[in-house]
Amino acid sequence: MAKKGKSIQAIRGMNDILPEQTPVWQWLEGTVRELLQGYGYREIRMPVLEKTELFKRSIGEVTDIVEKEMYTFEDRNGDSLTLRPEGTAGCVRAGIEHGLLYNQIQRLWYLGPMFRHERPQKGRYRQFHQIGVEAFGMPGPDIDAELILLSARLWRALGLEGVRLELNSLGSPEARAAYRQRLVDYLQAHREQLDEDSLRRLHSNPLRILDSKNPEMQALIEAAPQLAEHLDAASQEHFEQLRARLDMAGIDYRINPRLVRGLDYYSRTVFEWVTDRLGAQGTVCAGGRYDGLVEYLGGRPTPAVGFALGIERLIALLEAQGATPPAPAPHAYLVLVGDQAQPAGQVLAERLRDALPGLRLLVNCGGGSFKGQFKRADRSGAALALILGEDELAAGLLAIKPLRGEGEQCHVTEQEALDRLRSLLDAEQQNLLGAR
């Protein structure tokens, strides 16, 4: 006889999402899906494994993600593969590979797990989930504004509070290159005040130093040259038009001159939705324009802009303010008493489901006494208990007993049971419409 083995735990930072948690995820995902369809965005699904080169080229070999955080390995053919740490690179790769981008307008979105070997903490995990929204082929501020308006509508649809919009412009690659050199000169002159990470980034990715959270460097960062002073005229106009559209739509925002993306293919608009209600993990949604990325990954020059939001962080924020819906309980629980009633009850349940699409009917399985089944019915949260025993089966009837509120047990025909269940579904639908 085999010995009992030691129990195996989940990998640190890679969490199970349990049945009592999944309704919140489903509600969030359904809300996002409905909203994006309403704006004309189509879903794309990419593999979780990509060639490592894709992320080295798109994210940059000297970034923390590539140097420290990616899950990279060689497969049996000796190819270097990586679990995706983000979704934009894979979306662009798919667009180039399948001819979706050049001289075309595309609005795409995706949802799924990403992987980074970070120190796990609330709102940051090694397997985490993102929703990404990407738009290709549109160079103007109108699509930038659409993405921001779309995300603002999502917060309203979710009942989310406590998020604010921060906005900046990175300008053209040429203007940013000139600014980068001035920033390096400034930081080099204060080299003794730079921490280890900043020294490492000084020549490879200096704009990321502006995003440092080290409190000892904040005075140095505040006194640094500002990118806004180096914007080219076209980028300045683009930014002003974007701001005018947001002002017309009543979207509040704050200009954050330290909001940057450190990679060369980013240009013009960058934005973040941030909160102070999640501790250190303050960014709920981040986006921006990356007009150079398609060409950088081998495609033809294509304007592009997008954003990504972290599902775990968003759910944590929703739960903190009590904005998530409860799990839907069954409408009814079917109690089956007697050998003949059990198979007959399963057939009856299928007839009820056929007649009432959307009916949540839980059928007792695994046996149990009448009293024990009623306890299960009550714990399920069902509104009604349907009872089929030998006597009911012989008479062609069902017993119904309300489990919530007042009401006596009574016997009804199958049609009368259907009418009762239909009224439950109709009332639920009216409540949903009223909530909207």
For residue 216, tell me if it sits in a domain.
no
Size of the chain in residues: 436
CB 411 within 8 A of CB 392: yes
Output the pLDDT for position 229.
82
Output the pLDDT for position 63.
67
For residue 4, tell me if it sits in a domain.
no
Output the pLDDT for position 181.
87
| Rounded alpha-carbon distances, angstroms, from residue 328 to 170, 214, 247, 407 | 46, 45, 39, 22
Compute φ and ψ for 239, nearest 5 degrees: -70, -40
The residue to which tokens 């006889």 are assigned: 1
SS3 track for 38-56:
HCCCEECCCCCEEEHHHHH
Compute φ and ψ for 428, nearest 5 degrees: -65, -40
Output the pLDDT for position 150.
97
Rg for the chain, CA atoms, rounded: 28
- End residue of a domain, out of 290, 320, 350: 320
Q: What is the mean pLDDT of each run of 10 residues along the chain (436 residues)?
A: 81 92 94 96 98 89 74 94 95 97 96 90 84 97 98 94 93 87 89 86 81 85 85 94 97 91 82 83 89 94 96 91 84 95 95 95 94 94 95 94 90 95 89 62
| Domain count of the fold of the chain | 2
CB 112 within 8 A of CB 48: yes
How far apart are the C-alpha atoms of 38 and 1, rounded to whole Å? Answer: 59
Same domain membership, residue 343 and residue 316: no
- End residue of a domain, out of 320, 343, 370: 320
**For helices 341-355 and 414-435, angle between their N-to-C axes, nearest 10 degrees:** 50
Same domain membership, residue 368 and residue 297: no
Same domain membership, residue 153 and residue 250: yes
Domain enclosing residue 424, as ranges:
332-429
Same domain membership, residue 401 and residue 293: no
Residue 168: helix, strand or coil by DSSP?
strand
| Rounded alpha-carbon distances, angstroms, from residue 281 to 129, 312, 314 | 15, 11, 11
Same domain membership, residue 416 and residue 395: yes
Contact residues for 426 (Cβ-Cβ < 8 A; gap 6+): none
Specify the amino acid at residue 305. Answer: V
Same domain membership, residue 362 and residue 240: no
